[in-house]
Chain A
Amino acid sequence: MGPLIPNGILTNEWNIIIAVLIGLAFGFILEASGFSSSRKLAGVFYGYDFAVLKVFFTAAVVSVIGLYYMDYLGWIDMGMLYVHPTYLWAAIIGGAIMGVGFVAGGFCPGTSLCAVAIGKLDAWVYVFGIMLGVFIFSEAYSVLEGLYNGSFLGNITLVDSFDIPANYIIFGVTIIALVAFFVSDIVRKRIKKVFY
């Protein structure tokens, strides 16, 4: 069964059509959830709007439960799915740089594309900035190569890292998400409203 294209059930030509359709849905969901507004996105860091936290963690929990359940039912082979590789220091340092970029610019790449589509000029500048950042990385690649390729731990999952079964990890992640949703509502009530 799944994944359909790697298993040859759908031909590779479908890949491009599916890419556009998935992108359409992705852009629509992000924009309709308010992710084309940098002021709404930044709210998560100041406690006046937790849409980012709620959308992001709901999506993560739904997708991980769904994928593992489909694997259990034999509809999809988890072993064939692409697991984002773990380069320990690259993940930490790259993530930290992205974090500063997020709170300074108010977008991440996906959300900035949505804002570009509805005419936010700050997002146009932001996307230009991302491209400059990619250019700087590429030109400085000889310096950054050690970080980029170093501390490689493989395409590991939390199941490998903690050596506990996936169902316990998924249950734990779900509980963390529910607690975060609950706490975020309490915090938002205590913080001065920001209108945007």
Chain B
Amino acid sequence: MDKSSENNRHVYWNPYFGGFLLGLLIIFTFYMTGRGLGASGAMKSSVVTLVDKVSHEHTINNAYYSKFVKDDESPMNTWLVFESLGVLAGAFISGSLSGRIGFRVQHSPKITSRRRLVFALFGGILFGLGAQIARGCTSGAALSGMAVLSTGGFITMLAIFGTAYLFAYFFRKNWI
């Protein structure tokens, strides 16, 4: 790797520039599709598909899975799954251009990677659970909700960031 990309690895866009482009993208998304962005929806579709593969009987008998299982098509055939495939590709392109690609576990030097992975798993479980209860995550509920002044979107945003600040003290060793 040449020296310039080594130095640029942690140089990111100005946050206001990134935010401005993201705002334009949300406008474009609503203008085209009438809906906002999302992320956790694709993971839900993946879970529904996996469970459906293991036991179709179980998915049709479960009141939640059955909402997303259709007889004639795969539960993966949703807008958010295609959008998320785009997210993976887009992030890969951006990471490639800046030399940020590589398998590693990122963590504070004060903790072990094992501890980082345990907390990542635990945090993911909570986020997955919470995103189902609130019908969307930071993208689908909070950001896309706020773009159309949805009351639920604002409440979810305040609950996410408010609680994260409240609990930040207990997880400080992982980050600072």
B interface majority secondary structure: helix
B94 and A106 form a contact (CB under 8 A): no
CA–CA, A105 and B153, complex, Å: 22
Contact A102 to B35, CB < 8 A, known contacts A51-B15, A58-B23, A95-B155: no
A170-B63 Cα distance, complex, nearest whole Å: 39
Q: Identify B100's interface contact among A36, A133, A196, CB under 8 A.
A: A36
The dominant DSSP class at the A interface is helix
A134:B43 contact, CB within 8 angstroms: yes
Q: Which of B23, B51, B84, B85 has the most CB of A within 10 A?
A: B23
**How many residues on chain B are close to A (CB under 8 Å)?**
123
CA of A62 to CA of B21 in the docked complex: distance in angstroms?
9
A171 shortest CB reach to chain B, Å = 12
Residue-wise, chain A 48-59 has the 8 Å CB interface mask toward B (1 for contact) of 101100111111
Chain B 112-139 per-residue mask, 1 if CB under 8 angstroms from chain A, else 0: 0100110111111111111111111111
Given A66-B24, A103-B167, the answer on whether A109 and B43 have CB atoms closer than 8 Å is yes
Given contact pairs A45-B164, A130-B128, A166 touches B149 in the complex (Cβ within 8 A): yes
- Residues of chain B within 8 A (CB-CB) of A129 are 120-128
Q: Are A144 and B133 in contact (CB under 8 A)?
A: yes
| List of A residues within 8 angstroms of B63 by Cβ | 141-142, 145
Tell me whether B105 and A120 are in contact (CB under 8 A). yes
| A38→B171 CA distance, assembly (Å) | 13
- Contacting residue for B130 out of A48, A60, A95, A135, CB 8 A: A95
A: interface residue count bin: 35 or more
B contact residues around A100 at 8 Å (CB): 123, 126, 163-164, 167
Q: What per-residue 1/0 map shows which CB atoms of A159-178 lie under 8 Å from chain B?
A: 11100001001100100000
Is B19 in contact with A120, judged by CB distance below 8 angstroms?
A: no
Interface centre among B42, B43, B102 (most CB of A within 10 A): B43
A81 lies within 8 A of chain B by Cβ: yes
Q: Is B146 an interface residue (CB 8 A)?
A: yes
**A169 to chain B: closest CB distance in Å?**
6
Residues from chain A with Cβ under 8 Å of B53 in the complex: none
Chain B interface residues toward A at CB < 8 A? 10, 12-13, 15-16, 18-37, 39-40, 42-44, 46-48, 50-51, 62-65, 79-80, 82-95, 98, 100-108, 113, 116-117, 119-168, 171-172, 174-176
The interface of chain A, by Cβ under 8 A from chain B, is 2-6, 10, 15-16, 18-34, 36-40, 42-43, 45-46, 48, 50-51, 54-64, 66-67, 70, 75-76, 78, 80-88, 90-110, 112-123, 125-139, 141-142, 144-145, 147-148, 153, 155-161, 166, 169-170, 173, 192, 194, 196
Q: What are 26 A-B residue pairs whose CB atoms fall within 8 Å in the complex?
A: A3-B32, A3-B34, A22-B28, A23-B85, A24-B89, A40-B12, A58-B16, A63-B30, A67-B30, A67-B148, A70-B31, A81-B30, A84-B36, A84-B148, A95-B134, A95-B163, A99-B160, A103-B164, A103-B168, A104-B122, A105-B120, A106-B120, A106-B174, A120-B105, A129-B126, A130-B125
